[in-house]
């Protein structure tokens, strides 16, 4: 009993240790983020996303930043979907970089079409705006990010796996029942044959 209790306490401690960094490194939720704002670009904490959050390349802040990195985090069991409302990059010293976890997307002056919605691999998504010089002209980017189910694209795969498992189980049960039936039938016929022989 003491060993079991010790393991339980250790598991609880590990769970608390795992949760603390997430709580410490997560700021209060926001509805707007500006990629030229000192407040948003200088924060070290992840920005939690519970609803829709707009992301704009320029805001009311009179200051400007040459590099801005903002990391968003979704809730448990969710990932993040990033949708482009508009994107105009005329200056080639401006780059928008989106880190999805499993891949990184880069957009610059060669990106003429509005990209489709991007989905993070897990709960984290990072948006970076890099500029070769301090300049607010020649680019305008408007996005919004919101949580979406992490298993959204995996449902067909899960259903296929479940169907395959059910079919395999059914085949296994049928095979085992067939073997059992043949064994019992042979035993019955053997017993019947021996009884006739004795009679």
The runs of H, that is alpha helices, within the chain are 2-24, 38-41, 155-198
Q: Which of 111, 85, 81 is nearest to 96 (CA)?
A: 111
- Mean pLDDT (the chain, rounded): 75
Query: Who contacts 75 (Cβ-Cβ below 8 Å, separation ≥6)?
Result: 48, 50, 123, 147
CA distances from 127 to 38, 51, 84, 102, 130 (A): 15, 17, 12, 14, 10
Percent of the chain past pLDDT 70, that is, above it, reads 59
**Does 119 score more than 90 pLDDT?**
yes
pTM above 0.75, yes or no: no
pLDDT digits (tens, 9 = 90+) for 80-99: 999 999 999 999 999 999 99
Lowest mean pLDDT among 31-40, 130-139, 147-156: 147-156
Strands (E) in 17-110, as ranges, are: 32-34, 47-48, 53-56, 67-73, 78-89, 94-99, 104-107
Whole-number Å distance between alpha carbons of 196 and 132: 100
Which whole number is the average pLDDT over 17-42?
A: 65
**Does 190 score more than 50 pLDDT?**
yes
pLDDT score recorded for residue 126: 97
CA distances from 28 to 31, 32, 45, 48 (A): 10, 12, 9, 7
Query: Which residues face 142 on adjacent strands?
Result: 56, 86
Q: Are 39 and 111 in contact (CB under 8 A)?
A: no
CA distances from 145 to 55, 79, 115 (A): 7, 10, 14
């Amino acid at each position: 009993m003491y060993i079991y209790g010790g393991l339980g306490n250790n598991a609880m401690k590990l769970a608390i240790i795992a949760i603390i960094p997430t709580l410490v490194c997560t700021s209060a939720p926001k509805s707007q983020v500006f990629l030229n704002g000192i407040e948003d670009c200088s924060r070290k904490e992840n920005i939690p996303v519970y609803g829709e959050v707009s992301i704009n390349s320029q805001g009311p802040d009179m200051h400007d930043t040459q590099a801005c990195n903002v990391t968003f985090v979704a809730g448990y069991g969710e990932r993040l979907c990033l949708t482009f409302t508009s994107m105009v990059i005329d200056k080639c010293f401006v780059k928008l970089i989106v880190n999805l976890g499993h891949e990184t997307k880069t957009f610059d002056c060669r990106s003429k079409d509005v990209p489709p919605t991007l989905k993070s691999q897990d709960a984290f998504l990072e948006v970076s705006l890099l500029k070769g010089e301090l300049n607010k002209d020649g680019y305008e980017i408007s996005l919004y990010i919101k949580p979406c189910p992490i298993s959204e694209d995996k449902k067909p795969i899960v259903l296929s796996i479940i169907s395959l498992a059910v079919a395999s189980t059914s085949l296994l049960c049928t095979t085992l029942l067939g073997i059992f039936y043949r064994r019992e039938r042979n035993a019955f016929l053997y017993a019947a044959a021996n009884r006739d022989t004795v009679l």
